[in-house]
């Protein structure tokens, strides 16, 4: 193997590996990146067996070949090379020589044979979305993914196609049985796949880090047991969860006898203050909705009490409901607009939370019993 | 040549499991039990390979040469569909705690990597504490389709009844001596050495392989005689022995426990009479050994077997090797009483 390659392009690809692939002490082989040179390209592959990265960097390849070298060491070397053009050569003892200007490193590599084979990926369907849209959908749903629930199916976000008035949308849904978050984004392509499309929490976290919020296009490929995300020449691959997502539509309330409109920032600030007095997170915050005013209070027998009133438009009879303050705040943070609408039919019924001005996301929060 | 793991002597126990695996009807919870060192772990790996091997012909699986087999057999277990759950060798305690099992449970929720069937091998399963075993229960009972567990243990009683009852229990027995000898010869060991090593190995092929090297055999005899001398010596000599084994490390301490187990086994063989004595692991001790048998058979053997098991547990829980050895030698000596000097041969001056 012998090639010339741009230092910064190679450094960028190696940098992605640092952000994607977790290091595991029990499998040191996985700390390597597999380099594969062929006509005009250097392909880089790295994986921790849950997430995989396959990157391509243009290169002037005079002879092809492959080798696995320690990813972290190569990244640190490439970043500090003094010249922008890097010369890579591999000898027959799997030693990779990296030369740029005065600097010349030799890294001891492993035969590509030693590196585990990635599963073949075949996308059954593809959807193209905007980077910023996908980032928004993840931010609006990831917080309500269950943590290590015994029902696998809710330890990830479910992806499906829905038809809305504005046309087909790609919807992300997540729930931990106490609240549910959905967010939908426009896409191009076809995603008529069956139910099992569950992206684990960890994968969403990694993806969130990689997205920049820009208008760039990102392509999602849905395959057997995995989802592939492509942006430019970068390809990421995430293993999906193997489980059934519950029929979430069953918990979305369709009728409401009480509809409240509130200022989102005000309500959030109020909740931030009143929850100071809660010693146990699982205790409810009392919400008394009346026309014109919402009174929020917390009473803790040991500590004391707090009460705040804030303006509220109410359509329906006055009602008193208990909510988990933290859950509701997380939902409020995900509703991006200035106002928030809360709708429910009685004090123990699921409460639908939406942005009255934008229809691309909705949330359901289960109330708590007040005693 | 196939690089399949060495697995000899378990054909009868494994045949139905192999057939089921070849037809894609793996049981989702197997408990492989049997004495240490007879190949339970290799049997588990062998069964797991059926689920990942890329050989086209099902009858040829597992082939041991395709990339999937090689990844799975790699010392770092690189195939995610063949997962090994074992105590972290860099830690001092040989425990599988609830955190480790939760990782497995959440890993078992992921889609398979590329295999037809994914297997988690928990070895040794008795390294799981009660909390870890409870964390596994639900998943063990009803894993995702295409996922299964093989629990490996020499101490099935150390598992919760709720774990055992959820598993298909398969008992592996020590490998017959002729089978081991034959296998050693096939690997180029001289027939006499192969016979001797196979007989001494007590049904453990890997152990026989080690013993077939002349130095190993000599080292073992030397270690045994050091223990016997200490047993017949003063308290000071006993502690000296404990100190030297303790200094040599935990592996040496475990070997010393194996040694006591072997001696107890010989006591049982001779105590039970018949031609069992011909299968003794330490036939060269025959003369003075009678006194051991008189004193220890049968109650002393039972008590000391428990002593050894407790000592093993203590080592796993990071009690100092020296303290464990000190306690061991004192207890064995106390049980032997005056017979403790019977085998204490002095080195030839």
Compute the Cα dihedral for A160, A161, A163, A165 and give only its sign. Answer: positive
Compute the distance between CA of residue B82 and CA of residue B46 in angstroms, rounded to an integer.
10
Identify whether residues A137 and A244 lie together within a single domain. Answer: yes
Are A131 and A241 within one domain? yes
Taking the C-alpha atoms of residue B216 and residue B204, their distance in angstroms, rounded to an integer, is: 15
Taking alpha carbons only, the member of A313, A326, A336, A337 closest to residue A365 is A326
The DSSP secondary structure of B66-122, one letter per residue, reads: SHHHHHHHSTT---TTEEEE---TTSSS--B-HHHHHHHHHHTTBPPSS-SSEEEEE
- Give the H or E element holding residue A107: strand A103-108
Closest CA to B104 of B132, B126, B127, B70: B132
A133 with A241, same domain: the answer is yes
pLDDT at res. A195: 55
Note whether B74 contacts A30, CB cutoff 8 Å. Answer: no
Residues A71 and A98 in one domain: yes
Q: Residue A331 above 60 pLDDT?
A: yes
Quick check: B111 contacting A, CB < 8 Å?
yes
Rounded to an integer, the average pLDDT of A14-39 is: 87
Is it the case that residue B92 has pLDDT exceeding 80?
Answer: no
Tell me the two tokens of residue A121. 């990926």
Distance between CA atoms of B289 and B281, rounded to whole angstroms? 12
- Choose the weakest-confidence range: A36-45, B46-55, B185-194: B185-194
Question: pLDDT value at position B275?
Answer: 67
Pair (A104, A186) in one structural domain: no
What is the number of domains present in chain A?
3
* pLDDT band, residue A166 (cuts 50/70/90): confident
What's A91's DSSP letter?
-
For residues A209 and A198, the answer to whether their CB atoms sit within 8 Å is no
3-state helix, strand, coil in chain B (%, to 5): 60, 10, 35
State the nearest Cα–Cα gap between B118 and chain A, in angstroms: 12
Q: Are B178 and B191 in contact (CB under 8 A)?
A: no
Instruction: Examine residue A303 and state whether it is found in any structural domain, yes or no.
Output: yes
The Cα-based distances of B89 to A152, B86, B170 in angstroms read: 30, 8, 27
**Among the listed ranges A38-52, A82-96, A173-187, B267-281, which one has the minimum average pLDDT value?**
B267-281
Residues A241 and A263 in one domain: no
Residue B286 has pLDDT above 70, yes or no: no
Residues A341 and A318 in one domain: yes
Are the beta carbons of B114 and A119 separated by less than 8 Å? yes
Identify which of B67, B90, B109 has the shortest CB distance to residue A242: B109
Q: Closest-CA residue in chain A for B103?
A: A148
How confident is the model over A136-165, as a mean pLDDT?
87
Interface contact B113, partner A, CB < 8 A: yes
Task: Find chain A residues with C-beta within 8 A of B80's C-beta.
Answer: 49
Average pLDDT, chain B: 89
A188: pLDDT strictly greater than 50 = yes
Strand A304-315 and strand A258-263: the pairing is: antiparallel
Burial group, residue B90, by CB count within 10 angstroms (0-12, 13-18, 19+): exposed
Report for A235-249, A310-324, B191-205, B287-301: range of highest mean pLDDT = A310-324
**Residue B331 reports pLDDT greater than 80:** yes
Using DSSP's 3-state secondary structure scheme, residue B44 falls into helix
A240–B110: do the CB atoms touch at under 8 Å? yes
Is the confidence at residue B318, as pLDDT, over 70? Answer: yes
Domain stop point among A89, A114, A139:
A114
Query: What is this model's ipTM?
Result: 0.80
Write the DSSP assignment of A127-159 as a string of letters.
EEEEHHHHHHHHHHHGGGS-SS-SSGGGSEEEE
Q: Which of B71, B88, B106 sits opposite A155 (nearest CB)?
A: B106
Give residue A191's Cα distance to chain centre. Answer: 19
B71 and chain A: CB distance < 8 Å anywhere? yes
Higher-confidence residue: B124 or A119?
B124
Yes or no, beta carbons of A26 and B138 under 8 Å apart: no
What per-residue string of b and e applies to A127-144 under the rule 16 or more CB within 10 Å gives b?
Answer: bebbbbbbbbbbbbbbbb
Helix (H, G, I), strand (E, B) or coil at B144: coil
pLDDT in tens, B75-86: 889 999 999 999
Of B79, B102, B147, the CB nearest to A148: B102
How far is residue A317's CA from residue B81's CA, in Å, rounded to a whole number? 57
CA distances to A248, A312, A316, B149 from A292, in Å: 33, 5, 12, 60
Alpha-carbon distance of A95 to B332, in angstroms, equals 56
DSSP state of A31: G
**For the sheet containing A258-263, what is the strand order?**
A198-200, A156-164, A167-175, A179-186, A361-365, A351-354, A339-344, A258-263, A304-315, A292-300, A284-290, A319-324
Asked if the model's pLDDT at residue A193 lies above 60, the reply is yes
pLDDT at B343: 85
Indicate whether A370 belongs to any domain. Answer: no
User: Are A268 and A244 in the same domain?
Assistant: no
Res B280: pLDDT: 83
Tell which residue, A7, A1, A28, has the closest CA to residue A74: A7
Q: Are residues A143 and A192 in the same domain?
A: yes
**Residue A177: which region, alpha, beta or left (left: phi > 0; alpha: psi -120 to 50)?**
left
Question: What was the pLDDT predicted at B290?
Answer: 87
pLDDT band at B247 (very low <50, low <70, confident <90, very high): very high
In this structure, the answer to whether residues A101 and A177 fall within a common structural domain is: no
Q: Quick check: A28 and B76 CB within 8 A?
A: yes
- The answer to whether position A297 is within a domain reads yes
Q: Is residue A131 part of a domain?
A: yes
Q: How far apart are CA A229 and CA A220, in angstroms?
A: 5
Residue A119 lies in a domain: no
CB-based burial of residue A220 (10 Å sphere; 0-12 exposed, 13-18 middle, 19+ buried)? buried
Report how far residue A142's alpha carbon sits from residue A238's, in angstroms, rounded to the nearest whole number.
16
A25 CA: distance to closest CA in chain B (Å): 10
Interchain contact, B109 vs A241, CB within 8 Å: yes
Residue B250 pLDDT more than 60?
Answer: yes
For the segment A37-64, the average pLDDT, to the nearest whole number, is 94
Domain boundary, last residue among A44, A79, A114: A114
Of all helices (H) and strands (E), which one includes residue A104? Answer: strand A103-108
- Among residues B126, B131, B80, B130, the alpha carbon closest in space to that of B107 is found at B80
Chain B residues inside the 8 Å CB shell of A155: 106, 109
Region of A189 (left: φ > 0; alpha: ψ -120 to 50; beta: rest) is left
CA A136, chain centre distance (Å): 9
Q: Give contacts of A 115-174 with B, CB under 8 A.
A: 116-117, 119-120, 148, 150, 152, 155
Residue A371 domain-assigned (yes or no): no
Model pLDDT, residue B20: 93
pTM: 0.83
Percent over 70 (pLDDT), chain B: 96
CATH number at residue A230: 3.10.150.10
Residues of A in contact with B88 (CB under 8 A): 25-26
Quote the pLDDT of residue B348: 45
Partner-chain residue, chosen from A29, A50, A242, that has the shortest CB–CB distance to B76: A29
Lowest mean pLDDT among A184-198, A224-238, B35-49: A184-198
Whether A268 and A339 map to the same domain: the answer is yes
CA distance B70 to A111: 14
Residue A99 lies in a domain: yes
| Beta-strand relationship, A167-175 and A217-223 | unpaired
Provide the residue range defining the domain that includes A202.
126-248
Contact B102 A119 (CB under 8 A): no
Q: Percent of chain B at pLDDT above 90?
A: 60
Residues A27 and A77 in one domain: yes
Last residue of a domain, one of A114, A137, A152: A114
């Amino acid at each position: 193997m012998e090639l010339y390659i741009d230092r910064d392009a190679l450094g960028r690809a190696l940098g992605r590996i640092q952000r994607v692939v977790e290091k595991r002490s029990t499998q040191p082989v996985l700390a390597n990146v597999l380099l594969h040179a062929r006509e005009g390209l250097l392909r880089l592959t790295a994986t921790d067996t849950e997430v995989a990265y396959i990157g391509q960097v243009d290169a002037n390849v005079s002879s092809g070949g492959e080798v696995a070298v320690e990813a972290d060491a190569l990244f640190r070397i490439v970043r500090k090379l003094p010249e922008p053009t890097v010369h890579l050569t591999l000898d027959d003892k799997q030693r990779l020589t990296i030369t740029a200007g005065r600097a010349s490193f030799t890294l001891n590599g492993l035969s590509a044979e030693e590196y585990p084979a990635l599963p073949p990926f075949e996308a059954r369907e593809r959807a193209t979305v905007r980077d910023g849209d996908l980032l928004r959908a993840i931010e609006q749903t990831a917080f309500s993914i269950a943590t290590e629930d015994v029902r696998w199916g809710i330890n990830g976000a479910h992806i499906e196609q829905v038809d809305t008035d504005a046309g087909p949308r790609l919807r992300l849904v997540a729930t931990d049985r106490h609240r549910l978050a959905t967010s939908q984004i426009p896409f191009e392509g076809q995603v008529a796949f069956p139910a099992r499309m569950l992206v684990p929490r960890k994968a969403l976290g990694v993806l969130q880090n990689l997205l920049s919020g820009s208008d760039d296009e990102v392509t999602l490929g849905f395959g057997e047991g995995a989802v592939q995300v492509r942006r430019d020449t970068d390809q990421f691959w995430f293993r999906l969860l193997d489980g059934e997502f519950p029929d979430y539509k069953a918990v979305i309330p369709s009728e409401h006898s009480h509809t409240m409109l509130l200022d989102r920032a005000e309500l959030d600030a109020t909740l931030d203050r009143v929850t100071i007095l809660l010693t146990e997170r699982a205790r409810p915050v009392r919400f008394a909705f009346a026309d014109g005013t919402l009174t929020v209070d917390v009473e803790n027998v040991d500590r004391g009490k707090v009460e705040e009133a804030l303006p509220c438009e109410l359509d329906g009879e006055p009602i008193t409901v208990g909510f988990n303050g933290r859950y509701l705040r997380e939902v409020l943070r995900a509703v991006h607009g200035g106002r928030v609408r809360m709708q429910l039919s009685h004090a123990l019924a699921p409460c639908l939370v939406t942005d009255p001005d934008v229809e691309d996301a909705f949330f359901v929060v289960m109330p708590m019993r007040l005693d | 040549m196939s690089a399949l793991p060495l697995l000899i002597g378990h054909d009868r126990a494994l045949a139905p499991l192999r057939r089921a695996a070849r037809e894609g009807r793996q049981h989702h919870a197997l408990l492989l039990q049997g004495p240490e060192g007879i190949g339970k772990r290799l049997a588990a790996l062998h069964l797991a390979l059926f689920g990942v091997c890329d050989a086209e012909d099902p009858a040829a699986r597992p082939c041991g040469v395709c990339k999937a087999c090689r990844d799975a057999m790699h010392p770092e277990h690189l195939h995610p569909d063949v997962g090994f759950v074992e105590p972290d060798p860099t830690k001092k305690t040989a425990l599988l705690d609830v955190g480790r099992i939760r990782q497995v449970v959440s890993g078992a929720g992921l889609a398979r990597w590329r295999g037809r069937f994914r297997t988690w091998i928990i070895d040794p399963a008795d390294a799981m504490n009660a909390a870890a075993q409870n964390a596994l229960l639900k998943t063990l009972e009803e894993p995702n389709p295409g996922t299964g567990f093989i629990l490996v243990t020499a101490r099935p009683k150390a598992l919760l009844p709720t774990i055992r009852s959820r598993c298909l229990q398969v008992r592996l027995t020590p490998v017959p001596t002729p089978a081991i000898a034959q296998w050693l010869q096939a690997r180029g060991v001289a027939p006499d050495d192969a016979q001797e090593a196979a007989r001494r190995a007590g049904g453990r092929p890997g152990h026989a392989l080690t013993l077939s090297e002349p130095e190993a055999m000599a080292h073992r005899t030397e270690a045994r005689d050091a223990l016997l001398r200490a047993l017949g010596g003063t308290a000071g000599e006993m502690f000296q022995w404990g100190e030297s084994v303790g200094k040599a490390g935990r592996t040496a301490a475990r070997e010393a426990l194996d040694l006591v187990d072997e001696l107890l086994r010989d006591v049982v063989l001779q105590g039970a009479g018949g031609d069992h004595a011909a299968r003794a692991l330490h036939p060269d001790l025959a003369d003075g050994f009678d006194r051991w048998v008189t004193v220890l058979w049968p109650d002393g053997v039972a008590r000391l077997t428990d002593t050894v098991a407790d000592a093993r547990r203590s080592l796993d829980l990071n009690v100092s090797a020296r303290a464990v050895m000190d306690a061991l030698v004192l207890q064995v000596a106390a049980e032997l009483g005056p017979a403790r000097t019977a085998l204490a041969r002095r080195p030839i001056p």
